[in-house]
Chain A
């Protein structure tokens, strides 16, 4: 009985939090404010002297992310090499 009451209270609290969060969600279909996008589009060509803004974001503004991708690829290659290496007893 006590467990059920606690469970009910927890559900009510979580539902209230979700309701509060959902009421503040950006309305569907309306234009979002995106100051970061506007900054990239206006200043990327001038700051980085590159015409391809997508490349400027991927390799310069978000270069750390690309470093992570390269590290993921390196780790994948290392794991494949460890999986398919020639064992000592396999011969």
Chain B
């Protein structure tokens, strides 16, 4: 995929930051607001598609390494399973951090959502782990599917194909 014109590239450079920050916000606030690891991870992974369309495949593959995404995907799933096993003194997936004070251990008042970020125990940890896994997995699918298509191979690479010319 060849890069688009300089107008598109500049606008996409600006908005990619907002997409990444918004996705990370959805992941971190997963235990307070609608959303969570799966949804926020999908939003962050859309950033890779955004940059692929605007900057072209050569530029994206120069800084988005499949090994990095594969690593964070595996790390996310391992953190998830490890958090489940750590509560094994009571049951599998026991919430051993909730309500104890310390990390994610604040006691929340019963009733409407009070918006305390440092609550929910292992639920927050699992949200972040699932978010990492979804970011890695969906970006990896995107990169490998782009590498697999042969449609753009025999074109002259590097030159921009804008819709303004």
Contact = CB atoms under 8 A, between A and B. Distances in A.
Given A55-B30, A86-B147, A74 B120 contact: no
B36 interface: yes
A67 B81 contact: yes
Interface of B: 30-34, 36, 38, 73, 76-77, 80-81, 84, 92-93, 95, 98-99, 105-108, 110-116, 119-123, 126-127, 130, 133-134, 137, 140-141, 144-145, 147-148
Interface of chain A, main secondary structure = helix
Interface string A44-62: 0111111110111011100
B148 A55 contact: no
Interface of A: 45-52, 54-56, 58-60, 63-64, 66-67, 69-71, 73-74, 76-77, 80-81, 83-86
B84 A52 contact: no
Contacts of A86: 147
A48 B120 contact: yes
